[in-house]
Structure formats: structure tokens, C-alpha cells
Structure 1
Amino acid sequence: MQNFLLIVGLAALAANLPFFSEKMFCFWKMKAATKPFSLRLLELGVLYALLAGFAYFFESRISPVHSQNWPFYVSTFALFVVFAWPGFVWRYFWRKPGI
């Protein structure tokens, strides 16, 4: 159960990360004043792939890894996007422009 909560907690953190930082992956400063939405989506996809790789590695350390088909990855990405909803709302609905 603790392993599951660790993965879900990391997923919630990683899903909101693109919306709370103007830096790319929180490390690289952008030339533009604000990060475009397309880069935020790209960052969201890369963070999903990194988290999926971490979960695969974690599962392989505990037990044999179960093979998954495309519906599994589509549904977990959809859940990852749902986790990103608070960051999206904060960035585009609650914040005043220019802050």
C-alpha cells in the first residue's frame, strides 16, 4: 500500500509541476517571459513518461512485470491529466495576468 501511495503522490506532484514553474522542468530558464502552453503539454508528457519508467522499475524490483497494452497507458495518462487539473486551474483561472 505504501508503494502505491508513493507512486500516486509522485504522479500528483509531477502532473502539477509544469503549471507552477516558468522554467522548463524547473531547471532551465526560458528566453520568453512566460512558458507557452504547448511547452507545458510537452513537459507534461515527458514527466508522464519518466514516472511510468520509475513505476516500471519499481514494479520490476518487487515482482515480475505484467505486460500492458495501449489501453493501460491511455487510461493512466488520462488519470495523470486529471491530477494536473489543480495546477491548470491555478495557472489559467485563478492567477491574475502578469503575476
Structure 2
Amino acid sequence: MTASMYALLALTVFFANFPFLSQRALGVFALKNGKRFPHHLGEWLLGLLLAGALARLLEARAGAVHQQDWEFYAVVLCLYAVFAFPAFVWRYFWHGRNKD
């Protein structure tokens, strides 16, 4: 693996976990009633799209972009969900009991 692949992997793990670690919209904007699950899910999907776009860009720079079928995208979605599991558990199972 090259350095750009390691950086992409680290950035993807960050994108998957960040929505659950921050109570601000996109990490910047304060919300009046705090973030609810739909906000977290939307940011999580936005991170997935950003990571996918960056991966496609890196692949295009390295050579031809390979065509993928639906199986590839199903596996990517499941792997992204696994990456987000630690922060999801922290937000909804541990941290949720001791809200400020």
C-alpha cells in the first residue's frame, strides 16, 4: 500500500466517526436543540460520499478507473458502517446515558 492509500484509510475512518463525536452540524454550526440521529446519518453519508470521491480521484491519478458493480458498493457501505461503530456505540450506548 502506498502512503496515499494509508491517508485515505485514515481519512475514511475519521469521516465515519466524526458525525457521532461532534454535537455541531458539520463540526462547525451550533444547532438549537442539538443533533439527532437524522443529522448524524446525513453527515455520515456525506462523509461516505467525500471519501468515495477522494478514492476515485486517487485511483484516476494512478491509472484507469475500474468499473464496479453493485456488490462493490454494498461492501463499501458495510465496511464504512463498521468503521463508524466505535463512535456510534459511544454516542448512543455509553454517552447517551450521561447527557449533559
TM-score (norm 1): 0.91
C-alpha distance in structure 2 between counterparts of 1:80 and 1:29, whole Å: 26
Residue 44 in structure 1 maps to residue 7 in structure 2: no
C-alpha distance in structure 1 between counterparts of 2:79 and 2:31, whole Å: 28
C-alpha distance in structure 1 between counterparts of 2:32 and 2:56, whole Å: 35
Alignment deviations for residues 45-98 of structure 1 (CA, whole Å, 9 cap, x no partner): 111011100100111011111011221111101100100001011111222432
C-alpha distance in structure 1 between counterparts of 2:69 and 2:28, whole Å: 33
Alignment deviations for residues 29-58 of structure 1 (CA, whole Å, 9 cap, x no partner): 1121x2001111111111101110010011
C-alpha distance in structure 1 between counterparts of 2:7 and 2:77, whole Å: 17
C-alpha distance in structure 1 between counterparts of 2:11 and 2:70, whole Å: 22
Q: Residue 94 of structure 2 aligns with which residue?
A: 94
C-alpha distance in structure 1 between counterparts of 2:75 and 2:4, whole Å: 20
List, as ranges, runs of 4+ consecutive aligned residues in structure 1 with deviation greater than 3 Å: none
Structure 1 portions without partners, runs of 5+: none
SS of structure 2 residue aligned to 1:84:
helix
Name the % identity.
Answer: 35
Q: Residue 4 of structure 1 aligns with which residue?
A: 5
Number of equivalent positions: 98
Shift of 1:4: 2.3
Shift of 1:23: 0.9
1:56 aligned partner, one-letter code: R
TM-score (norm 2): 0.90
Matches within 5 A, 1:58-97: 58-95=58-95, 96-97=97-98
SS of structure 2 residue aligned to 1:24:
coil
C-alpha distance in structure 2 between counterparts of 1:42 and 1:74, whole Å: 18
